[in-house]
Each structure stands twice: as C-alpha cells, then as structure tokens.
C-alpha cells in the first residue's frame, strides 16, 4: 500500500477530481448502456454499498447463490469510472458483467454521466445522505483509502468539503444536480440514506416497485435482515476487506453506519459555520435532508 502515491485533486471540467477517476475518461464516456441496465449513482459515502447489496440480493440471491459467497460486491456492481492501482478498470468490468440486468455504480455528477444511460432510458437509483454525515464518513474514508487524497485533519477536510475541493466535487452541486434532473428524466428513483436507516423494509418496497419486482414478503424480510449494518460488516463479500488499497485498521470501511455521527465530530463553532454556509449553497427548497432521525 505504501508504494501507491496519494493522488492530488485538480479541476476537471469545473469539478474537482483525481486521476483515478479521469484516466479512463473517453472509454467511460463512450460506455454503451443497455436499456435494462440499472445505474446506482451517489456522492461518495451515501450508502452506495448498502443499496448495491440490496439490489444485488433482490435480483440474484436465488438465481445465483454462489455469487453471494464468492464475488465481492465491488465486482458484482462495478464502479464505472474507476481506473486505479489494484483495480480492474470499472468500465471493463461493467462490459464483462454476465448478469441481466447489469448493476453499475457511479459517483459522477449528473453532467458527467455517459449519455448512453440517458438515451437508453435506463433506471437510475440516486442515493443521497445528509451533508454532515457525508463529510464525516468521507473524511474517515480518505484516511483509510490510499487512492483518496490525504484528508490531512478533520478541520482541513471539512473546509475542503464546504468548498467542493473533494473528489467528485461539491456535495451541494452533486445532490442538487441529480435532484433537478428528475424534472426532465423521470426514470430516477431519488432516495435517502436516512430513510433507509429509519425503515429498511419500506425502502426495499419502494425499490421493488421502481425496478418492477414483486418478491414474496419472506424474501424481502430476509434481505432486510441480511443488509443490517452488523451483518454486512461481518460479510467479507460486502465489507471491502479484500481490497488492497484500504487499511481497515486505520478506519474500517463499515465504520459506524449511523445517522447523526457528525455530532461526535463537529465542534459547536464548526456546526454554526456549516449551517450558515449550507443556507447559502442549498437554494432548492424542495430538497430536504435530515441530520438526525
Ligand atoms: P459511515 O462511515 O458513516 O459508517 P458508501 O458505500 O457509499 O461508500 O457509503 C459508506 C457508508 O455507508 C459508511 O458510513 C458505511 O458504514 C455505511 N453503510 C454501509 N453499509 C451500511 C448498512 N448496511 N447500514 C448502515 N450503514 C451502512
């Protein structure tokens, strides 16, 4: 792990990115989607793995049980734009996926999403998480993952987060850009980490209705239990323990899985400044987040 240099961030078409997500750019942009592909889009740390796992189980749990025991989630649901050491390029993994539908993950802001997904009218599931918990989770993720820029320390990272100087750019622009896309593109299911934490069964029902599945109640209950934080944390196929660039001793990928952990990180002053800045940046009153449940 020591040999991998931490990347720097740079402005790329107006968004801060790192080379590990821009080096395969032309191939990613020309990705050929199929109408039944399902794209899972998020700003980093919004619960991508959680929702990916739910969707994977809904589709393939019974069709392909060996998949559950032997293929890590990041191979079942490739990360489209990744091109980093110790990773097969996400675009190549997506091209080679043998499943129907293909489940594909992206952190790209809406303006960078390969056109083919929209032209094919693919189903897109966008997962959003409140800014404060996203910032905390992203900070710890940067500490443990050497393909992320060094977050330095919490107050430095928080400032960078507010200024959009994090990989995949501004959280504010990301969540708002995807929210506004719903007006012109109806095949988006926009969901929230906090809702999933509050009532996983209800959110699974909504996902099923969006993707056109009607599994029996026992299956949905089994999945809701299987994807509880404690269960996914123990599951080597879900907890990223097989990924070489991550040091789980620094901070585990499955870290806390809570709504409101920001309260253990923000000082009173940081919280007040954050709220002030938030009001200026979040102009769309219809997009509302909960920072506690
Ligand atoms: P924390 O760092 O706050 O614990 P992503 O998959 O988008 O990278 O998001 C990772 C975040 O989702 C981490 O948040 C992780 O613990 C949390 N997470 C993953 N699986 C979860 C689950 N089953 N229940 C609750 N939170 C989960």
Residue with tokens 């709220």: 275
| Residue 233 CA to ligand 1 centre (angstroms) | 9
Contacts of 166 (CB under 8 A, 6+ apart): 9, 16, 44, 138, 149, 157, 160
Determine the pLDDT at residue 167: 98
Assess contact for 259 and 194: CB atoms under 8 A. Answer: yes
Assess contact for 80 and 105: CB atoms under 8 A. Answer: yes
Residue with tokens 């409140």: 130
Pocket probe for ligand 1: among 46, 50, 264, the residue whose CB has the most ligand atoms within 8 Å is 50
**Active-site position among 59, 74, 107, 265:** 107
**If you write DSSP's letter for every residue of 41-52 in order, what string do you get?**
EESTTSSHHHHH
Determine the pLDDT at residue 62: 83
Element containing residue 76 per DSSP (H, E)? helix 73-76
Cβ(140) – ligand 1 distance below 6 Å: yes
Determine the pLDDT at residue 3: 66
The residue whose C-alpha atom lies closest to atom 19 belonging to ligand 1 is 50
User: What residues does 246 pair with on adjacent strands?
Assistant: 145
| 189 given a catalytic annotation | no
Q: Which CATH number fits domain 14-281: 3.40.50.300, 2.40.128.640, 1.20.120.1150, 3.40.50.720?
A: 3.40.50.300
The radius of gyration computed from the CA coordinates of the chain, to the nearest angstrom, equals 18
Determine the pLDDT at residue 130: 98
| Residue 56 CA to ligand 1 centre (angstroms) | 16
Pocket probe for ligand 1: among 43, 45, 54, the residue whose CB has the most ligand atoms within 8 Å is 45
Looking at 18-138, which runs of residues are DSSP E strands? 38-42, 103-106, 123-128
Contacts of 62 (CB under 8 A, 6+ apart): 219
Interatomic CA distance for residues 241 and 236, integer angstroms: 6
Domain locations in the chain as residue ranges:
14-281
- Tell me the average confidence (pLDDT) per consecutive run of 10 residues in the chain, 293 residues long: 82 98 98 98 98 97 84 97 95 97 98 98 99 98 97 98 98 98 98 98 98 97 97 96 94 98 98 98 96 98
Residue with tokens 């589709």: 59
Look up residue 12 and give its two tokens: 């790329």
Say what angle helices 154-162 and 268-281 make with each other, to 10 degrees. Answer: 10
Cβ(248) – ligand 1 distance below 6 Å: no
Determine the pLDDT at residue 5: 87
- pLDDT digits 0-9 by tens, 124-164: 999 999 999 999 999 999 999 999 999 999 999 999 999 99
What is the Cβ-side half-sphere exposure of residue 1, based on CA atoms within 13 angstroms? 14
Pocket probe for ligand 1: among 42, 47, 258, the residue whose CB has the most ligand atoms within 8 Å is 47
pTM above 0.75, yes or no: yes
Interatomic CA distance for residues 249 and 235, integer angstroms: 17
Look up residue 169 and give its two tokens: 């750019």
DSSP class of residue 9? Answer: -
Determine the pLDDT at residue 64: 78
Alpha-carbon distance values, 52 to 102, 173, 210 (Å): 11, 23, 15
Cβ(41) – ligand 1 distance below 6 Å: no
């Amino acid at each position: 792990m020591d040999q991998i240099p931490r990347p720097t961030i740079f402005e790329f078409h107006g968004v801060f990115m790192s080379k590990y997500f821009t080096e395969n750019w032309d191939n990613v942009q020309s990705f050929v989607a199929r109408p039944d592909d399902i794209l899972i889009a998020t700003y980093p740390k919004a619960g991508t793995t959680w929702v990916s796992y739910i969707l994977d189980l809904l589709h393939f749990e019974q069709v392909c049980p060996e998949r559950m025991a032997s293929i890590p989630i990041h191979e079942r649901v490739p990360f489209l734009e990744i091109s980093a050491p110790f990773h097969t390029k996400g675009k190549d993994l997506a091209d080679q996926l043998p499943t129907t539908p293909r489940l594909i993950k992206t952190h790209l802001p809406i303006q960078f999403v390969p056109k083919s997904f929209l032209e094919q009218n693919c189903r897109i599931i966008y997962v959003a998480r409140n800014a404060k918990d996203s910032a905390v989770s992203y900070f710890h993720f940067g500490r443990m993952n050497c393909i992320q820029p060094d977050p330095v320390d919490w107050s430095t990272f928080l400032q960078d987060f507010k200024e959009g100087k994090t990989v995949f750019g501004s959280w504010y622009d990301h969540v708002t850009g995807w929210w506004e896309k719903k007006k012109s593109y109806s095949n988006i299911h926009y969901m929230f980490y906090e809702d999933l934490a509050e009532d996983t069964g209800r959110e699974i029902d909504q996902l099923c209705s969006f993707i056109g599945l009607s599994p029996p109640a026992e299956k949905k209950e089994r999945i809701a239990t299987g994807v509880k934080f404690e269960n996914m944390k123990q599951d080597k196929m879900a907890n990223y323990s097989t990924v070489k660039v991550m040091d789980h001793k620094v901070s585990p990928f499955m870290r806390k899985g809570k709504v409101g952990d920001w309260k253990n990180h923000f000082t009173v002053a940081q919280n007040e400044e954050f709220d002030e800045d938030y009001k200026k940046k979040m102009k769309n009153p219809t997009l509302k987040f909960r920072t506690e449940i």
